[in-house]
Structure 1
Amino acid sequence: MKNSRNIDTLLRSMDAAGQSGAPNPGRSQSDLEQILRSRPTSADRGAGPVEDKKSTTYPSGRRRRTFALGAVAFAATVGFLVVPALSGGDPAFATWTAAPGALIGAERDSAVSDCIRSTKGVGDGMFTNDLEAAEVAIAEKRGAWTTVVLAGSGGFEATCTTDTTAPWFKKGSIGSVGKPGDGQPLSSREVRATQLGTGVIANNPLSMASGKVGADVAAIAYTAAAGERITATVSKGQFAFWFPGTELTNSSDQPVPVEVTYTDNTTEIRYLSL
């Protein structure tokens, strides 16, 4: 019993509502044990990873010291979950925009303070000193939603995406905090993803990509499957973009193509992966 079809058959055989006679407890237990021993076949798991020479990847042996925030961890992060948003004031990302705006003044200060506060307790405060020394690399808004990226030495990053219209007692963030890379400098045209995948906030899925860029990277854009062009924020050696939906769910297997514009106005398609 090695595939999902057989597992479905076994589960149906254990459903007393679908049987004409009294269920057999011994058979049900035996079937359950077979299910628990089963492993999905390669066909069940889907296609294997796409190989591309332009993919920016991390060696498999590199330890990723990153903790996730929100209801679901992003792909390729490890750790535990904190501060989930129970509900929001902007259902289904109704105000979201493909092009970001800049956070300024009191709105920026509030978003940055909220991000620091929501991440300080992660890992029993193991990143407190990093947070205090970090600078604000990105502070953007997309409708009612704000995204803050804090960056520091040794590859430290903290990201928080929040619905600012949610009541304070229901507000939460989704993102990550930690040192996902090894702190090595990037080449001038390099784009290195440190957060890539999907998560859930206020019961709505979103796809996010963020990370580091070299000194010659001026802009990044992603074209979604539906054809919408999504503009990333690129600032102080970091980039970030996100959009509603689960489109980047398989990003650990399928590198994500982005259009990169350099300071000399040339463009190139590069691929994000973790």
Structure 2
Amino acid sequence: MTDDLMTLVRSLDPADPAAAVPTGEGVRARADLARILATDPLPAPRRRPARVLVAAAAAVAVVATGAVLTPSVIGGDAAFATWRPLPQKVVGTARTEAADRCRDELGDTGATDALDRARPAVAEQRGAWTLVLLSGTGGFSGLCITDDSRRLFGDMIGSVGTADVPAPGPRGLTATDLGTGSLDAGDLSLVAGLAGDDVVAVAYASAEHGRVEASLGEGRFALWFPGDELVGGGVVPLEVTYADGSRARVDVAL
């Protein structure tokens, strides 16, 4: 996926009320119109790639074809009913298989070679849902969140690319993915990124779900939860625990 496409994806913020969009009077609609009118016809310079949630795979295919399948037909974990704030680590053969599925899901983005070389830094389950965070060289990463209970048509959301962000210090965090996306099960919020060597735990105090703990591995962290609490991005306060047992608040943003 190109840097410009990832930047465009970041602009797809569902914060405007749906009723305002068709009239062109919403904040996002006005901003989009102004940007289109001001666009230079010459090729735009390359910009920092955005790393926000992108609906992918079968979820997109269903919408594109106009088909409507009810939960009773396609199955799945409606409304994230099985989701849990404490993740369970995926290990062994299951970890390898989950990583391979994520590579397949993101394969249409054009990053096949980088995905093949990337290794699973994080693989976790929260109820029926599996998150995989693939880590590659040069800051490349691919992320998938998938409903493993679906009997027909996968429910998946993810991101892929290289984020041009600074490496965190030993006690710091740097976000590479932050935002809200939508699946058949509903909206979900995600924050993921790079973690310093002294970081041993990361958590977020959700207004609706309470304390949500992140998974960590190979200098990466990731956590997610149902709802649109992180819609629009902005600064996200995280509680970080260090190897010496001390704790601190670290704010992350894109």
Normalising by the smaller structure, the TM-score range is: 0.7 to 0.9
Highest Rg: 1 or 2?
A: 1
User: Aligned match of 2:133 in 142, 149, 152?
Assistant: 149
Q: Report the Cα offset of residue 272 of structure 1.
A: 1.4
CA contact (8 A) 2:102 2:143 kept: yes
- Which runs of at least 4 in structure 1 moved beyond 4 Å after TM superposition? 38-41, 65-68, 85-88
Which 5+ residue runs of structure 1 have no aligned equivalent?
A: 9-31, 46-60, 71-80
Give the share of equivalent positions with the same residue, in percent. Answer: 37
Superposed CA offset, 1:180-216 (max 9, x none)? 225x533211201111110011151011111111111
Superposed CA offset, 1:207-263 (max 9, x none)? 1111111111111011111361100011110000000111111323xx111100111
Structure 1 CA distance for aligned equivalents of residues 106 and 209 of structure 2: 35
CA contact (8 A) 1:88 1:202 kept: no
**Structure 1 stretch displaced more, 61-70 or 203-212:** 61-70
Report the residue type matching 1:208 in the other structure.
Answer: L
TM-score (norm: length of structure 2): 0.74
- In structure 2, the partner of 1:75 is none
User: Aligned match of 2:146 in 162, 179, 187?
Assistant: 162
Structure 2 CA distance for aligned equivalents of residues 160 and 245 of structure 1: 17
- In structure 2, the partner of 1:29 is none
Q: 1:166 to 1:193 in 2, by over 3 A?
A: same
TM-score (norm: length of structure 1): 0.69
Structure 2 CA distance for aligned equivalents of residues 238 and 104 of structure 1: 17
Structure 2 CA distance for aligned equivalents of residues 108 and 139 of structure 1: 6
Structure 1 CA distance for aligned equivalents of residues 88 and 197 of structure 2: 22
Q: Report the Cα offset of residue 147 of structure 1.
A: 0.2
Structure 1 CA distance for aligned equivalents of residues 240 and 87 of structure 2: 17
**1:130 and 2:114 matched:** yes
CA contact (8 A) 2:57 2:154 kept: no
Q: 1:250 to 1:65 in 2, by over 3 A?
A: closer
**Structure 1 stretch displaced more, 171-180 or 184-193:** 184-193
Aligned positions of 1:1-274 closer than 5 A: 40=27, 63-64=48-49, 66=51, 68-70=53-55, 82-84=57-59, 88-122=75-109, 125=110, 127-167=111-151, 169-182=152-165, 184-226=166-208, 228-252=210-234, 255-274=235-254
Superposed CA offset, 1:125-165 (max 9, x none)? 2x122111111100000001000000011110100000000
Q: Report the Cα offset of residue 40 of structure 1.
A: 4.6
Structure 1 CA distance for aligned equivalents of residues 91 and 252 of structure 2: 29
Structure 2 CA distance for aligned equivalents of residues 115 and 179 of structure 1: 16
